[in-house]
Amino acid sequence: MEAADLNVIKACQRWQAAGSQVVLVTVVHTWGSSPRPPGSMMAIRDDGAVIGSVSGGCIEDDLIMEMQARTGDGRGFDVAPSTRVYGIKSDQAHLFGIPCGGTLELVLEPLQAHSGIGDLVTALEQRRQVTRTLHLQTGAVLLEDGAVDVGIRMTDERLIHGLGARYRMLVIGAGQLSRYLCDIAIGAGFDVQVCDPREEFHADWDIKGVEISRVMPDDMILAALPDARTAVITLTHDPKLDDLALMEALRSPAFYVGALGSRRNHALRVARMSEHFDMSTEELARLRGPAGLYIGSRTPPEIAISILAEIIAVKNGVRLAEEACVGMAKELQGCPAARV
């Protein structure tokens, strides 16, 4: 799930623990152009405080005013969830800031003790994939492990929402480029882990929330158990550090495996891994190198943006043309193969 939605669920847990009344709002269906995809969430506290988003802002304002009106006159919300549709008519779409032709359907769920928010937070923090089933007539909730691929769907009686762990990035190498990449990856909602056994790279590490592991990179990859929500990127240029880590990553379900380097170094890396590690053509075809989208990047911050852009595109299922990637783009432009 996206980091923003996990933050919504955690806020629900905090607000409930403090004794506040909370309504969890979930986007169930969208038609046409809509600001947020199905599964997006926001939470509204009884004093009007809000976290998350389901639109460009006007729908949020409407829901906040309704929440404040209900708590102000003592009505509150019913225990049972309710549905709400915005944007069916063009004047309503304009009023609420929905793009032309856009419509979205929401489920408003007043949270109760039996809503299982604390158990849901625990499951997601443990990187478990869960299915949350909400009974629309009673508000009862069932949490089940697995089946995250159901996405979100609604029947006459139930809202079924598959939820998975946050996306994660495993970074090999703690040099200057790694600092920029980790910083912006955290801002993009990734959990980030860094590994570099070279002591000289540890002294001034100061990226908040990211610690460096001192084990060998392949041991770190094995211990991390990369899943389909994990990206792995190697940045050291050192075959002793990169190659074994890449081998383990390519044999895992990681959705992205990439390596920094020139086209020449990438070709040598592929040949080396094929010869010494007995890796198949299919496994090596998953390796993205030189990592990144071609944006003419030269400085470490620009290269970090290029790499993260490719990772996000792969995460989001974007089909990338070969000429958009660094290696092929530079070949088409006649750039020397030795340049990074």
Over the range 64-103, which residues count as b (16 or more CB within 10 Å of their CB) and which as e?
Answer: beebeebbeeeeebeeebeebebbeeeeebeebbbeeebb
Q: Which of 44-58, 83-97, 106-120, 173-187 has the lowest mean pLDDT?
A: 83-97
How confident is the model at residue 185, as a pLDDT?
94
Query: What was the pLDDT predicted at 231?
Result: 97
Contact 237, 260 (CB under 8 A): yes
Which has the minimum average pLDDT: 164-168, 224-228, 268-272, 315-319?
Answer: 164-168
Confidence of residue 34 (pLDDT cuts 50, 70, 90): low
Ordered by where they begin, the domains of the chain are 3-163 (no CATH), 168-332 (3.40.50.720)
Determine which of 145-149, 150-154, 185-189 has the lowest per-residue pLDDT on average.
145-149
**Percent above pLDDT 70 for the chain:** 85
The number of CA neighbours under 13 Å toward the Cβ of 89 is 3
What's the pTM value of the predicted model, to 2 decimals? 0.69
- Give the pLDDT confidence of 108-120 residue by residue, as tens digits: 999 999 999 999 9
- What confidence score (pLDDT) does residue 340 get? 40
Contact 255, 228 (CB under 8 A): yes
Q: Is the pLDDT of residue 148 over 60?
A: no
Mean pLDDT of the chain: 86
Better-scored residue on pLDDT, 111 or 74: 111
Chain centroid offset of residue 118 CA: 21
Distances (CA, A) of 67 to 35, 45, 48, 140, 282: 22, 8, 7, 21, 54
Predicted confidence band at 338 (pLDDT cuts at 50, 70, 90)?
A: very low
41, 9, 26, 39: which is closest to 162 by C-alpha?
Answer: 39
Residues 6+ apart with CB under 8 A from 66: none
303, pLDDT greater than 80: yes
Work out the average pLDDT over 128-136. 92
CB 168 within 8 A of CB 231: yes
pLDDT band at 288 (very low <50, low <70, confident <90, very high): very high
Mean pLDDT of 244-266: 94
Query: What's the pLDDT score for residue 203?
Result: 82
